[in-house]
Amino acid sequence: DYSRPHDVYTNLTSLLLHHPGPSGPEQQLRDCTLPSPLLEEIKEKNPLVTLGGHYRPPDCEPRHHTAIVVPYRNRQTHLRALLYHLHPFLQRQQSGNSTFNRAKLLNVGVREALKEEDWSCVFLHDVDLLPENDHNTYTCHPQYPTHLSVAMDKFRYRLPYSQYFGGVSAVTPEQYLKMNGFPNQYWGWGGEDDDIAARSQSHLSLVIILIFTASVYPSCLPPHSHRRDQVRLSGMKIMRPPLAIGHYKMIKHKGDQGNEQNPRRFDLLKRTRLNWRSDGLNSLTYKLLSKELEPLYTNLTVNIGDDP
């Protein structure tokens, strides 16, 4: 049921033969430093693989039906290393061409991270942003979501607009629950960060509308201000470090294939106030395909479905 046998062959060959140098997989294999966990452990990491080593993608009809034949005798360690790499690798090849969905992936990441440990603070960090100031502390505000990347070189070290919440932000698990996580419906580029910003403050907006007039409380706050009258209200708002501290360098890049601008983002944004309670953490569905502990990070491969 595994698909794309040609890719499998090519990648497997390069894994074992083509990487030169003393620290490459070839050398690691010779030194037996490649992980070759127990078969039970490999099984645990690949819950969708069934007896005999079969795998079928759970949410689509496979286009190919491939068997992998391995000539073998007395190489248990190698077999375990191969199975350990090959199963997640093949599953990754079958998950992957749908439109990108940053906010839904963040939801999955937060939920999975909280299964691992009782984190007191979770950062949502774009891959292309490098913090430039050591005083920009990676901690959470106890009450409110924090937006860290307030001054990117791309925007000449200032906020592009006052409600901007893209790039790097942080929430405590309590804040995350309170805002019902992030939206799942933004497929493609744009809008999801503004939705997250809006839901961060949605409690506050409701209180304002019910009790006062909107003009008393501006919809945006000056950066890193902390007005006492608003703090007394129970809702959340966005905290920010000073512009001089929240400096980030963005690695230059072009738009990604599969993450084209989402034409529905403006319509979706108009409905955030109506939708945030039903679209978010409480409506999140996904399938965890594999989880790999790499030396410097944990890599989760998930099926989050497709743009309906």
Least Å distance, CB 123 to ligand UPG, is 12
Q: In angstroms, what CA-CA distances link 126 with 9, 21, 168?
A: 33, 31, 6
83-112: which residues touch ligand UPG (CB under 6 A)?
A: 100, 102
Q: Cite the DSSP H helix spans in 34-101.
A: 39-45, 76-94
Q: Is 23 helix (H, G, I), strand (E, B) or coil?
A: coil
Token pair belonging to 62: 């496979």
257-296: which residues touch ligand UPG (CB under 6 A)?
A: 258-259
Which residue's C-beta sits nearest to ligand UPG? 166
Least Å distance, CB 124 to ligand UPG, is 8
Token pair belonging to 229: 């009258």
Calculate Rg over the CA atoms of the chain.
23
| 153 touches ligand UPG (CB under 6 A) | no
Report which of 53, 88, 65, 85 is spatially closest to residue 5, judged by C-alpha positions.
65
Nearest 5°: CA angle at 273, between 269 and 274? 100
Least Å distance, CB 34 to ligand UPG, is 27
The whole-angstrom separation of Cα 100 and Cα 149 is 22
The whole-angstrom separation of Cα 295 and Cα 308 is 36
Stretch that binds ligand UPG, among 1-9, 84-92, 186-194, 271-279 (CB under 6 A): 186-194
Q: Which is nearer to ligand UPG, 145 or 190 (CB)?
A: 190
Stretch that binds ligand UPG, among 73-81, 170-178, 252-260, 285-293 (CB under 6 A): 252-260
| 193 touches ligand UPG (CB under 6 A) | yes
Give the residue, chosen from 127, 210, 216, 274, that forms a contact with ligand UPG under the rule CB under 6 A.
Answer: 127
Site map (CB under 6 A) of ligand UPG, residues 33-62, x = contact: ------------------------------
Q: Is 251 helix (H, G, I), strand (E, B) or coil?
A: coil
Q: Which chain residues interact with ligand UPG by CB under 6 A?
A: 100, 102, 126-128, 166-167, 189-190, 193, 256, 258-259
